[in-house]
Amino acid sequence: MKKELILVFIFALVFFGCKENEEPITQSSLQYFLVGIQPSWSPNMNFTPVSDSLYYYQFNDDGTFLKRVGDLTAKGTFKNPEIDDFEGIALTFEDQDSDLIHSCFRGEEYLSSLGNNELAGTWEACDGPKLFFKAISNFNRPN
């Protein structure tokens, strides 16, 4: 009788314990929020801090990213390329013509590493502002 109850319990755990469409919460993500802006072509080149940004990048362990600016989002993949002395992150967007790509290149964006969990955009190379990001939170979320 005891063996039968154990088998029923194990069967119930296996059958009802997991649903096919649910994935375990194991993937670690790192978010970099906009913390400042510096104009690239202005007489006033002062750094302007931003404290309540709705603009961030989320980098996932599987090599994917999410970029959010307000209610708009863009997705893609990222890597850490070995290009000359460049230390940073190269982003490739799923939608090559996304309005959220802040770069001189179609479908790509580059963020340079400043150390101390800080990144800087490279948009100023094509007359956009220089954008500064800092890692704010490290959290677990579903894949």
Q: What's the pLDDT score for residue 84? A: 67
Q: What's the pLDDT score for residue 28? A: 62
Kindly report the pTM of this predicted structure. 0.71
DSSP 8-class letter at 41: S
HSE-CB at 141 with a 13 A cutoff on CA atoms is: 13
Domains of the chain (ranges, CATH numbers): 25-141 (2.40.128)
Residue pLDDT, tens place only, 40-85 = 877 777 888 898 889 999 999 999 999 999 999 999 999 987 666 6
Cite the beta strand spans of 17-87 per DSSP E: 27-38, 48-49, 55-60, 64-69, 72-79
Lowest mean pLDDT among 3-12, 44-53, 66-75, 123-132: 3-12
